[in-house]
Amino acid sequence: MEHVAQHSDPHYDQEASKLGMWLFIFTELLLFGGLFIVYAIYRFLNPEAFQMAGHELNITIGAINTIILLVSSMTIAMSTSALQKKNIGLTVLLLEITIILALIFLINKYFEWGVKFDHGIWPGSEHLLNDMAHGEVLFFGLYFVMTGLHALHIVIGMIIIIVALNKVQKGTVHADRPSLLENAGLYWHLVDLIWIFLFPLFYLIH
Amino acid sequence: MQTATQLEHEVNYLDYKGKYKGIFAWIFSTDHKRIALLYMYSMLTMFVVGVVLGLAMKLELIAPGKTIMDPGTYNAVFTVHGVIMIFMIVIPGLPAVFGNFMLPIMIGAKDVAFPKINLLSWYFYVLGAVLVIASVLFGNGAPDTGWTFYAPYSFKTGTNLLPAIFGAFVLGFSSILTGLNFIVTIHRMRAPGMTWFKMPLFPWSLYGTAWIQLLATPVVGITLVLVALERIFNIGVFDPALGGDPILYQHLFWIYSHPAVYVMILPAMGAISEIIPTFSQKHIFGYRAIIVSTLAIAFVGYFVWGHHMFTSGMSGTAQYTFSILTFIVAIPSAIKVFNWISTMHKGSINPEAPFLWAVTFIFVFMIGGFSGLVLGALATNVHVHDTAFVVAHFHFIVFGGVGFAFFGAIHYWFPKMFGRMYDKVWAKVGWAFFTVGFLTLYSPMFYLGMMGMPRRYYDYLPEFHAGNILSSLGSWVMTFGLLIVVINLFRSAKNGAIAEINPWNSKTLEWTVPSPPPLENYDEIPVYGEKDGPYEY
């Protein structure tokens, strides 16, 4: 049928894709917003315990991960510019760097969580339930939930970037049709932004 | 304004043959009209389950003591009834069926902005439904917490709650995607010349609804995730034994779930705002007032969640504030009622089935609304809190509101959707039985609640017997009416008389395309001129 052929280009609306992505980002912010409210309330109720528990976290690893994410945000932003300049090779390279940086972030996270587990700290662990104050239980509960959910978003973001990377290589995402890559970038900046709030809330406030 | 009658030679969306055959032509279709029907049939399936559970509860309550089920089963039945009816019927209800079908046509577009995401949202709906059903069929018994999943019982109970919680989460995601799609569609795809204030009121109500879906659902999403994690890992946030606060759960839950009430009712009001002017053959009274009140409801609706928790322990200041805001949110709803009545005033009224459903909607909605004010006032709230009065109130609002509007809408748009007209006599007979049954079923609960009969018990004191018998009788009459309506529609979809393009002489755009509409609705996108409008009778 003739409609099938029509279905691709006349229906492409870059503004609409971007608007849709921004709305989706809005929902993600609200999702984490719920957690930030819970955090704020329990921090207000248990200031000392939160302070004590915060000392358990390793600021160095947190800072390194922050830098990694900031750099990855930069590389994905550069990849969009490279696509606009029709430099496919550079676009692909920058996206690959972004993915590798995301992977390094996750590896750091793995070791960071591993150290906590070695110290007997995980949600519902005996050490946590028997030896620690309620505020500390809540701190670590929220720490694992929020950084865990954030790590899940890193994984989702990586999948989106890999899809975008594939389509750039295939040529279906190009300078005149960049929505998917731009949306991947927007999503990645969101993931970055959430970390920017998580890092001081858990690691830095003492 | 152009009419699109030149399209009549084109094959309609029901007969259209695409890439896929048989059932795949439907479940892989990104056509907004087919997705709407997919939603409608899957909702109907779940609705049958919900109705059977409701009937079982009314049968249990026909006499004091155990009638057909023990208390544990009763708890499971009202929980699953609530989860199905709220998350799978009334929240997606009008947006997913009539929104999907009519929104693009009413604003002069060929489809929604993201057809694939639209289909994805239906897949999420089915996944969510399967998860909830799985929680009933497998594991250690069906969920028994009530549809609200209140902490701490929701992570202490031994029943199979996790699939139900994840099901509700996935259904929320489906709802978000629908909302997102509608917002972008309305922003980007209105026909040339259709300015914001020339848009029909049903799309307007979908717009307000979509924003609520988008802004409120993520909060309940994360709250349900926290309950699930609490169950699996003991993270402590809602567990008083670990320093958490179960009241915080109630706050987070109702921050979504109160606005969700407006996700249910706004599109219903939108459909009524289409039906009333059509069957009065008159311009809608107070077009802008209806739009402003829609947006006002969507906005103020965010700030009233505390009225679900007046007895949970909160400061006096918070109680007064939530109470006064609850009264304020009633004002825009009342404005709409005045507008509908004024539209009918001196109109040329055509009492067809859709109009009868719409007028009954106004009637039951007002009873539901006024009883809502009784609950919003602090002193009376304490008296009737957690009684059958509350059950009566929200069934009048939610089932009365959404149910009557849904049936009004289906009788209104049926000739457009299926290209055939239903049997008008049976439609009215079904409406009459349904309405009488509905009022007999729920009205006695107001009285029972005032007298102190608590909700959510399988048993009651002997003095409540008479009211409960009446209520159970009503449930049978209502179901009988429901059967007439559904059977009539199903038969007519196959064998009804061929419908005209515009059988009701309506002025909105969907009545300019053939019935049923062709795949892309319009050959040429219609253009709204200076003097065109959706209600220019």
- Interval B284-316: pLDDT, tens: 999 999 999 999 999 999 999 999 999 998 899
pLDDT category at A9 given cuts 50, 70, 90 is low
Q: Which residues of B touch A145 (CB under 8 A)?
A: 226, 229, 235, 237
CB pairs under 8 A between A and B: 108
- Write the residue in A16, A19, A31 that is nearest to B221 by C-beta: A31
Within an 8 Å CB–CB cutoff, is residue B237 touching chain A? yes
Residue B2's pLDDT is: 44
Residue A8's pLDDT is: 47
Q: pLDDT over 70 for what percent of chain A? A: 95
Q: Which residues of B touch A36 (CB under 8 A)?
A: none
| B229·A15 Cβ contact <8 A | no
Is pLDDT above 70 for B8?
no
Domains of chain B: 5-512 (1.20.210.10)
Q: Are B172 and B204 in contact (CB under 8 A)?
A: no
Is pLDDT above 70 for B139?
yes
- Write the residue in B117, B218, B243 that is nearest to A134 by C-beta: B243
Q: Which of B201, B194, B199, B196 is nearest to B343 (CA)?
A: B201
| A34·B219 Cβ contact <8 A | yes
Q: Which residues of A touch B181 (CB under 8 A)?
A: 20
Return all residues near B113 (Cβ < 8 A) that are at least 6 apart. Answer: A13, A16, A20, B181, B184, B185, B188, B189
Is pLDDT above 60 for B119?
yes
Interval A44-84: pLDDT, tens: 999 999 999 999 899 999 999 999 999 999 999 999 999 99
Within an 8 Å CB–CB cutoff, is residue B252 touching chain A? yes
Enter the ipTM.
Answer: 0.91
Looking at CA atoms only, how far is residue B318 from chain A in angstroms?
17
Is pLDDT above 70 for B441?
yes
Residue in B closest to A28 by C-alpha: B218
Looking at CA atoms only, how far is residue A153 from chain B in angstroms?
14
Residue B9's pLDDT is: 56
| A123·B222 Cβ contact <8 A | no
Distance separating alpha carbons of residues B381 and B311, to the nearest angstrom = 9
Residue corresponding to tokens 């169950």: B231
Is pLDDT above 60 for A167?
yes
pLDDT category at B439 given cuts 50, 70, 90 is very high
Is pLDDT above 90 for A16?
yes
| B237·A134 Cβ contact <8 A | no
- Choose, out of A30, A121, A125, A127, the residue to mutate when testing the contact with B (most B CBs < 10 Å): A30
H/E run at residue B253: helix B246-280
Average confidence (pLDDT) over B355-365? 97
Residue corresponding to tokens 């106004």: B362
- Write the residue in B188, B214, B235 that is nearest to A26 by C-beta: B214
Looking at CA atoms only, how far is residue B230 from chain A in angstroms?
9
Q: Which residues of B touch A31 (CB under 8 A)?
A: 218-219, 221-222
Q: Which residues of A touch B189 (CB under 8 A)?
A: 16
What separation in angstroms does the CA of B425 have from each of B17, B177, B432, B461, B499?
Answer: 35, 39, 11, 43, 16
Looking at CA atoms only, how far is residue A149 from chain B in angstroms?
10
Average confidence (pLDDT) over B325-341? 95
Distance separating alpha carbons of residues A190 and A194, to the nearest angstrom = 6
Residue A10's pLDDT is: 64
What spatial distance separates the first Cα and last Cα of chain A, rounded to whole Å? 66
Residue A3's pLDDT is: 41
Within an 8 Å CB–CB cutoff, is residue B520 touching chain A? yes
Residue B337's pLDDT is: 96
| B237·A138 Cβ contact <8 A | yes
Average confidence (pLDDT) over B113-142? 94
Domains of chain A: 16-204 (1.20.120.80)
Provide residues of A within 8 Å CB-CB of chain B. 1, 3-4, 6, 11, 13, 15-16, 19-20, 23-24, 26-28, 30-35, 37-38, 41-42, 46, 122-124, 129, 133-135, 137-138, 141-142, 144-145, 149
Q: Could you give the angle at the alpha carbon of B227 between the alpha carbons of B226 and B233, nearest 5°? A: 80
Is pLDDT above 80 for A4?
no
